[in-house]
Amino acid sequence: MARQPRPPFLDRRRYRIERIRDAARLLPALGLALLLVPLAWGAPGEPGAPGNAAALLYLFGLWAVLIALAALLSRLLRSGADGDEP
């Protein structure tokens, strides 16, 4: 079953919802990239090894930011129309 062709131009509200959806799709990618930052850290004893507290604060801080962004996006998504586009 072919998809229905989408109109090339959306009204402003609809357009905004689409961009929020884009952001919701991108958020896990951003999160993953930032979560892989420790791969660049040095092992214990090597130069560039983070302090214990710094490593802890970085990861928990990042996590908290991700949660906050997800909460914000989900609020925006829910206030938008319940469209069915994937």
Partner 1 sequence: MTLGFETLVAASLAYVALLFAVAFLAERRQREGRGAWLRSPWVYTLSLSIYCTAWTFYGAVGYAARSGLEFLTIYLGPSLVMVGWWWTLRKLVRIGRTQRVTSIADLISSRFGKSAPLGALVTAIAVAGITPYIALQLQSISLSFAAIADRGENGLVAGDLRLVAFWTAVGLAAFTVLFGTRNLDPSERHHGIVIAIAVEAVVKLVALLAVGAFVVWGLAGGVAETLARIENAPVPMWTGERGRWAGLIFLSAAAFLTLPRMFQVMVVENDDERHLAVAGWAFPLYVFLMSLFVVPIAVVGLERLPAGSNPDLFVLTLPLAEGQEGLSLLSFLGGLSSATSMVIVATIALATMISNHIVAPLWLRARPAEQTAGELRRVVLIARRLSVAGVLALGYLYFRLTGAGTALSAIGLIAFAGVAQILPAMVGGVIWRGATARGAAAGLAAGATLWAWTLFLPSFGVLPASVMAEGAFGLSWLRPRALFGIEGLDPLLHSVMWSLLVNAGLFVLVSLVTFPTPLERLQGESFVNVFDRGPAPRALGRAAAEPEALLVFASRLLGRDAALDLFREEAERQGKSGHLPDTTPVFLARLERELAGSVGAAAAHAMVGGLAKGSEVSVDDLMAVAGEAQQIIEYSARLEQKSAEAERTARALREANAKLTRLAAQKDAFLSRISHELRTPMTAIRSFSAILREEDLRPDERRRFAGIVEAEAQRLTRLLDDLLDLSVLKEGRLSLDRREGYLSDVIDRALAAAGVLPGSGLRVIRDPSSEIVPVVTDLDRLAQVFINIVSNARKYCDAPSPELRIAVRRRAGEVIVDFVDNGRGIPAEERELVFESFTRLGGSWREGPDGAGLGLAICREVMARLGGSIAYLPGQGGAAFRVVLPAGLARAAE
| Concatenated DSSP letters of 24-73 | HHHHHHHHHHHHTGGGGSPPTTSTTPPPHHHHHHHHHHHHHHHHHHHHHH
Per-residue binding letters, 26-65, with partner 1 (x by CB under 8 A):
-xxx-xx--xx-xx-xxxx-x--xxxxx-xxx-xx--xx-
User: Does residue 24 interact with partner 1 by CB under 8 A?
Assistant: yes
CB of 12 to partner 1, least distance (A): 21
> How many Cβ atoms from other residues are within 10 Å of residue 65's Cβ?
13
User: Does residue 74 interact with partner 1 by CB under 8 A?
Assistant: yes
Rank residues 9 and 32 by Cβ distance to partner 1 and give the closer one.
Answer: 32
